[in-house]
Amino acid sequence: MVSLIQQQTGLQVVLTGTENEKTLTEYIRDAAGENIFSAAGSLTIEELIAVIDHAELVLSVNTAAIHIAAALRKPVIVLYALTNPQHTPWLTKNVVLPYSVPGKLKSKNEVINYVDQSSFNKHVRPPSPVEILENVLMLLNESELNAGSHQLVQIKK
Protein backbone atom coordinates (compact mmCIF):
# COMPACT_ATOMS: atom_id res chain seq x y z
CA MET A 1 0.00 0.00 0.00
CA VAL A 2 2.79 2.46 0.87
CA SER A 3 4.53 2.00 -2.48
CA LEU A 4 1.18 2.32 -4.28
CA ILE A 5 0.49 5.67 -2.59
CA GLN A 6 4.01 6.92 -3.29
CA GLN A 7 3.90 5.81 -6.93
CA GLN A 8 0.49 7.39 -7.57
CA THR A 9 1.22 10.68 -5.78
CA GLY A 10 4.99 11.13 -6.09
CA LEU A 11 5.02 12.32 -2.50
CA GLN A 12 7.52 11.60 0.23
CA VAL A 13 6.12 9.16 2.76
CA VAL A 14 7.22 9.30 6.38
CA LEU A 15 6.48 6.24 8.49
CA THR A 16 6.22 7.05 12.19
CA GLY A 17 5.63 5.04 15.32
CA THR A 18 7.20 4.00 18.56
CA GLU A 19 10.63 2.46 19.07
CA ASN A 20 8.88 -0.94 19.22
CA GLU A 21 7.54 -0.35 15.68
CA LYS A 22 10.90 0.63 14.19
CA THR A 23 11.65 -2.84 12.78
CA LEU A 24 8.22 -2.90 11.12
CA THR A 25 8.52 0.60 9.61
CA GLU A 26 12.02 -0.16 8.32
CA TYR A 27 10.71 -3.37 6.74
CA ILE A 28 7.89 -1.42 5.08
CA ARG A 29 10.34 1.26 3.93
CA ASP A 30 12.73 -1.30 2.44
CA ALA A 31 9.90 -3.17 0.68
CA ALA A 32 8.21 0.00 -0.60
CA GLY A 33 11.08 1.64 -2.45
CA GLU A 34 12.04 5.21 -3.24
CA ASN A 35 11.06 8.32 -1.29
CA ILE A 36 9.86 6.40 1.78
CA PHE A 37 11.40 7.27 5.15
CA SER A 38 11.19 5.60 8.55
CA ALA A 39 11.21 7.87 11.59
CA ALA A 40 9.76 5.38 14.08
CA GLY A 41 11.30 5.71 17.52
CA SER A 42 13.36 8.74 16.57
CA LEU A 43 10.98 11.68 16.98
CA THR A 44 10.15 13.65 20.10
CA ILE A 45 6.53 14.74 20.41
CA GLU A 46 7.58 18.23 19.29
CA GLU A 47 9.31 16.79 16.21
CA LEU A 48 6.27 14.62 15.41
CA ILE A 49 4.08 17.72 15.61
CA ALA A 50 6.47 19.55 13.23
CA VAL A 51 6.40 16.65 10.73
CA ILE A 52 2.60 16.57 10.85
CA ASP A 53 2.44 20.36 10.52
CA HIS A 54 4.32 20.08 7.20
CA ALA A 55 2.23 17.16 5.95
CA GLU A 56 -0.46 17.49 3.33
CA LEU A 57 -2.29 14.48 4.73
CA VAL A 58 -2.00 12.04 7.63
CA LEU A 59 -2.96 8.40 7.19
CA SER A 60 -2.95 6.35 10.37
CA VAL A 61 -4.84 4.15 12.72
CA ASN A 62 -6.58 6.06 15.54
CA THR A 63 -3.48 7.29 17.35
CA ALA A 64 -2.04 10.54 18.66
CA ALA A 65 -0.87 11.37 15.13
CA ILE A 66 -4.49 11.63 13.95
CA HIS A 67 -5.50 13.83 16.87
CA ILE A 68 -2.47 16.10 16.35
CA ALA A 69 -3.26 16.34 12.63
CA ALA A 70 -6.88 17.22 13.37
CA ALA A 71 -5.77 19.91 15.82
CA LEU A 72 -3.52 21.30 13.07
CA ARG A 73 -6.42 21.10 10.56
CA LYS A 74 -4.60 18.60 8.34
CA PRO A 75 -6.73 16.19 6.30
CA VAL A 76 -6.80 12.74 7.89
CA ILE A 77 -7.59 9.22 6.76
CA VAL A 78 -8.23 7.02 9.75
CA LEU A 79 -8.00 3.24 9.51
CA TYR A 80 -10.45 2.89 12.36
CA ALA A 81 -10.58 -0.34 14.31
CA LEU A 82 -14.04 -0.61 15.80
CA THR A 83 -12.75 -0.90 19.35
CA ASN A 84 -13.81 2.49 20.68
CA PRO A 85 -16.31 3.98 18.21
CA GLN A 86 -17.14 7.26 19.93
CA HIS A 87 -14.04 9.17 18.74
CA THR A 88 -15.31 10.29 15.33
CA PRO A 89 -15.59 12.57 13.43
CA TRP A 90 -12.70 15.01 13.66
CA LEU A 91 -13.14 18.70 12.91
CA THR A 92 -10.98 18.60 9.81
CA LYS A 93 -11.35 17.05 6.37
CA ASN A 94 -11.44 13.34 7.08
CA VAL A 95 -12.23 9.90 5.83
CA VAL A 96 -12.92 7.20 8.38
CA LEU A 97 -12.38 3.66 7.10
CA PRO A 98 -13.74 1.38 9.84
CA TYR A 99 -13.06 -2.31 10.23
CA SER A 100 -13.99 -4.99 12.76
CA VAL A 101 -11.57 -6.41 15.29
CA PRO A 102 -11.70 -9.62 17.33
CA GLY A 103 -13.73 -9.41 20.54
CA LYS A 104 -10.64 -9.82 22.72
CA LEU A 105 -9.29 -6.49 21.40
CA LYS A 106 -12.46 -4.52 22.17
CA SER A 107 -12.89 -2.26 25.17
CA LYS A 108 -14.04 -3.80 28.43
CA ASN A 109 -16.05 -0.65 29.24
CA GLU A 110 -19.77 -1.54 29.43
CA VAL A 111 -20.98 1.70 27.84
CA ILE A 112 -18.56 1.36 24.92
CA ASN A 113 -19.56 -2.30 24.52
CA TYR A 114 -23.25 -1.31 24.40
CA VAL A 115 -22.54 1.27 21.67
CA ASP A 116 -20.41 -1.26 19.81
CA GLN A 117 -23.07 -3.99 19.97
CA SER A 118 -25.91 -1.68 18.97
CA SER A 119 -24.06 0.23 16.23
CA PHE A 120 -21.42 -2.16 14.92
CA ASN A 121 -22.98 -5.59 15.29
CA LYS A 122 -21.97 -6.84 11.83
CA HIS A 123 -18.50 -7.66 10.53
CA VAL A 124 -16.76 -4.87 8.60
CA ARG A 125 -13.82 -5.96 6.47
CA PRO A 126 -10.59 -3.91 6.52
CA PRO A 127 -10.26 -1.38 3.70
CA SER A 128 -8.29 -2.54 0.67
CA PRO A 129 -5.13 -0.75 -0.51
CA VAL A 130 -7.10 0.53 -3.53
CA GLU A 131 -9.83 2.00 -1.27
CA ILE A 132 -7.18 3.69 0.84
CA LEU A 133 -5.42 5.07 -2.24
CA GLU A 134 -8.69 6.40 -3.70
CA ASN A 135 -9.33 8.30 -0.48
CA VAL A 136 -5.77 9.63 -0.33
CA LEU A 137 -6.13 10.95 -3.88
CA MET A 138 -9.55 12.45 -3.13
CA LEU A 139 -8.32 14.36 -0.06
CA LEU A 140 -5.12 15.48 -1.81
CA ASN A 141 -7.13 16.73 -4.79
CA GLU A 142 -9.44 18.67 -2.47
CA SER A 143 -6.43 20.15 -0.66
CA GLU A 144 -4.66 20.97 -3.92
CA LEU A 145 -7.69 22.84 -5.20
CA ASN A 146 -7.69 24.91 -2.02
CA ALA A 147 -3.97 25.42 -1.37
CA GLY A 148 -1.56 24.51 -4.19
CA SER A 149 0.93 21.65 -4.47
CA HIS A 150 1.39 18.87 -1.93
CA GLN A 151 4.58 18.02 -0.07
CA LEU A 152 4.28 15.10 2.33
CA VAL A 153 2.04 12.17 3.22
CA GLN A 154 2.46 10.58 6.61
CA ILE A 155 1.56 6.94 7.13
CA LYS A 156 1.66 4.89 10.28
CA LYS A 157 1.45 1.10 9.98
Indicate the burial class of 39 (C-beta count within 10 angstroms; 0-12, 13-18, 19 or more). Answer: middle
pLDDT computed for residue 151 by the predictor: 45
Predicted pLDDT of residue 89: 62
Q: Which domain holds residue 62?
A: 2-155
Distance of CA 23 to the CA centre of its chain: 19
Rounded Cα–Cα distance for residues 29 and 15 (Å): 8
- The maximal CA–CA distance of the chain, rounded, in angstroms, is 46
- Closest residue by Cα to residue 4 from 133, 150, 128, 97: 133
CATH of the domain at 91: 3.40.50.2000
Give strand pairing partners of 76.
Answer: 58, 94
From first to last of its 157 residues, what are the pLDDT tens digits of the chain?
888 888 888 888 999 999 999 999 999 999 998 889 999 999 999 999 999 999 999 999 888 999 999 999 999 999 988 776 666 667 889 998 988 877 787 777 788 778 777 776 778 888 999 999 999 999 999 876 665 444 444 444 4
pLDDT score for 153: 47
For residues 133 and 61, give the distance between their C-alpha atoms in angstroms, rounded to a whole number: 15
pTM flag (> 0.85): no
Number of domains making up the chain: 1
Q: Is residue 97 exposed (0-12), middle (13-18) or buried (19+ Cβ within 10 Å)?
A: middle
